[in-house]
Structure 1
C-alpha cells in the first residue's frame, strides 16, 4: 500500500500533498490487473500508450515492481511483427464472461507501439536496472522496427494498420500528434541503444527525418488543427524547443486554454480535459515555463475525485462532468507533470530531452528549432 512517505517528491503546493499523491497512486494500483495490465478504469479497455503512461507514473511514485509488471504485460502480448493491438478488453464480454486481455480493436497504431521505448527508458532511469533494460531490448527493438516499417518517404510515419493490412498497404496518412510522440519514443530508443552500446544508425536517420517533418512541415500531416494535442505535442514530444516552441505555445494559447478550468480537447467544444491539461503543463515545464505549468495543474483540481483519481473532463457550458469516468491515464499524466516540476531525475531526463539523442537531421532546411541542432 502506497504511503505518503513514498510520494513526498510528488508534493506540489496547491496541486498535491503527499497524502493526496499517495491516494492517486493507490487509485492507479487499484485499476491495475493481476497480469500487470492497466486499463483506463476498472472494467474498461486498455490501450498500450495509456497503459505505458500509467506505468511511468507508478515509477515516479516509487512503485517500481508494479511498473515492471506493466512492462512485462506488454512483452507478453506483443504481436510477432513487433506491434500491439489498439485496444484490449478488461471488462465483461458480451456473454457475461470476463474479456481479460482479449483484443477489442485489432488495428495497430504506430504511436501506441513506439511508446514502450519512452516507458522502458524511464523505468531504467528510475531504477538503474540494467537487467531489465537487456530483457526488454528484444521487445523494444521489434516495436521500433515495426513503427519504422511504416515511415513514409517524406519522413512522417503512417498512423495505423487496419486488421489484416501489411506495411506495404498502410494508409499514407500521418498524424502530427502521433508523429510527435513517435519522435520522442525514437529518441528514447536511441538512448537505450546507446546505453547498451548497440548503435542503430538507421534509427538515427529515421528520427532525424521525422523530427524535421514535425518541426518544419505541418503540411505533411492530416489536418487535425482543432485538437489541442496537435498544438502542444510537437513541444511535448521534444521536436520543438527554443523560440519556435515558445512561439507555437503563444500562437494558440487563447484558442485552447480556459482560465481557471484547464485546456480544451478541441477548440470548438466547451470541454476541458485533465489529460490534455496535464500534458500541456508538462510541455510548458519542458520549455522553462514552470509557473504557468503549475497554474494549469492548480486549475484542474476541480477534476479531482474523492478517491484521488481524476475525472476525464468537464463540460463547462453545462457545468457537468463528462464522461463519468476516472481514468488511470489522466491520473498518470498529473503525476508525471508534478514529478517533472518537482525535479524527479528520471522524469526530467525523459521529458526535458536535453540528454536524449536527437537523431541525424536532414541537411536541407536545417534550423535551430530541433533539439541538438
Structure 2
C-alpha cells in the first residue's frame, strides 16, 4: 500500500511574527524567506549564496530562520545535510564550495562552527515539537559536542580549531571570545536536548560552567580581538552575560561600534557597517530588555535591503558604496531571527533569551594558581 503523501509542514500563523512595523511588512518578510529558500540546494545545503561556499555555522543560522517562517521541511533538510556529512570525529570542515560535500575548500575544523548544530536542533524541536527529529539528530549533536570539548583548555576557554589532517591536525589552542561565547550557547542547548531525552551529561555541565566562568571573568584567556564588534556583543548575545553586567558592556561599546542611522561597524576604525552584526546586536539588545533600541537598529539597516528581499553584507559609508557585492543567506537569516524574537516567536525567544536553558556547573574559585 502506498503511504499518503506528506504535505509540507508549514504553519502560516508563524509568519505573522516576522512582521515588524518600520522594519518588515508581511510581503517583505515573505520575500526574504523566498530568498533564503532559493539559495538552498536540493540536498538541503544552504551556502552563503549559490556558487559561494557553505560554512556549518551560517548554514544552521539560515535553517533557524526558515523555521521562524514555518518552513520546517526546508530546515529539517538542512539538518539532515549536516547529519549525512559529519566527519567521523564529529566535526565538519570550515567551508564547502556551494555546499558540495565532496568539495571542501577549508579542511580546518572550527570549534564554534561544529558546536552550533546543537542550537539549531533545539530550535527546530521547539519550533515543531518533533521528538523523532531529536532522536535522529541526537547522535550528530552528541558527536559534535564531544569533538568541541576535546578542544577545551584547562581555563575553560575553547581552542579555536583543529588544523587540516594533511597539515598535521594540530589543535590551535588560542581561544576566540566570539567563538567561545557561541560554543557556550550551543552547550546549553545541547544540555537542554540531553535533559529532554533524560540522558544526563555531567561532563558537559562541568565544561559549560567552566566556559561561562572564563567568558565572564577571564578576558586574558582569549585573543585580543576587541576591535571587532562581535567580541563586544557576543558574550551578551550568547547568554553568558545577563543583567547589569550585560547592559554595562553594551553601553561601554556603543559609541565605538554603532553608527547612527546606518548600523554597526564590523571592526573599528573602519568606516564599514555590516548587516549581520547589526541584526545580531539587535537580537542581543532584545535579550537584555532593550527592544526599542533593537527595533531602531533594524530600521537603520534598511539601506542594506535589496529589491529581491535579501540584504547586502555591508556598506562603506565614507565611499557611499555597498561592499562586498554579495547578498548572503546568513545576513537575511540574522534579520529574520531578530524580528522573530521581537515578535515573540517561542522557539527563538527560548534559544536566545536563555532563561530556561541549563547553565552548567560553575567551578569553585579558590586562590590556587591555575584554578578556573
1:72 aligns with 2:80: yes
Contact map agreement 1:4 1:19 (CA 8 A) in 2: no
Residue 100 of structure 1, CA deviation: 6.3
SS of corresponding position for 2:15: helix
Residue 350 of structure 1, CA deviation: 0.2
Contact map agreement 1:120 1:133 (CA 8 A) in 2: yes
Aligned to 1:7: 15
1:85 aligns with 2:89: no
SS of corresponding position for 1:140: helix
Aligned to 2:3: none
Aligned to 1:339: 340
Number of matched pairs: 358
Name the CA distance, whole Å, in 2 between partners of 1:27 and 1:268: 32
Contact map agreement 1:177 1:229 (CA 8 A) in 2: yes
1:310-366: per-residue Cα shift (whole Å, max 9, x none)?
00000000000000000000000000000000000000000000000000011218x
SS of corresponding position for 2:175: coil
Name the CA distance, whole Å, in 2 between partners of 1:17 and 1:307: 14
Aligned to 1:48: 56
Residue 165 of structure 1, CA deviation: 7.5
Name the CA distance, whole Å, in 1 between partners of 2:163 and 2:171: 8
Residue 9 of structure 1, CA deviation: 1.5
Contact map agreement 1:161 1:167 (CA 8 A) in 2: no
Residue 171 of structure 1, CA deviation: 2.0
TM-score norm. by structure 1 comes to 0.93
1:192/1:28 Cα in 2 relative to 1: closer, same or farther (>3 Å)? same
Ranges in structure 2 where 5+ consecutive residues have no aligned partner: 1-7, 367-372
Aligned to 1:368: none
Taking only aligned residues, the RMSD between alpha carbons, in angstroms, comes to 1.7
Contact map agreement 2:265 2:273 (CA 8 A) in 1: yes
Contact map agreement 1:117 1:140 (CA 8 A) in 2: yes
SS of corresponding position for 2:96: strand
1:309 aligns with 2:310: yes
1:179 aligns with 2:180: yes
Residue 166 of structure 1, CA deviation: 10
1:282 aligns with 2:283: yes
SS of corresponding position for 2:105: strand
Q: How does 1:339-358 map to 2 (within 5 A)?
A: 339-358=340-359
1:273/1:80 Cα in 2 relative to 1: closer, same or farther (>3 Å)? same
SS of corresponding position for 2:173: coil
Ranges in structure 1 where 5+ consecutive residues have no aligned partner: 92-98, 366-373
1:27-64: per-residue Cα shift (whole Å, max 9, x none)?
00000000000000011100000000000000000000
Name the CA distance, whole Å, in 1 between partners of 2:60 and 2:335: 14
Residue 167 of structure 1, CA deviation: 10
Aligned to 1:203: 204
SS of corresponding position for 1:362: coil
Name the CA distance, whole Å, in 2 between partners of 1:235 and 1:166: 35
Residue 169 of structure 1, CA deviation: 3.5
TM-score norm. by structure 2 comes to 0.94
Dislocated runs of 4+, deviation >4 Å:
1-6, 165-168
Name the CA distance, whole Å, in 2 between partners of 1:349 and 1:101: 35
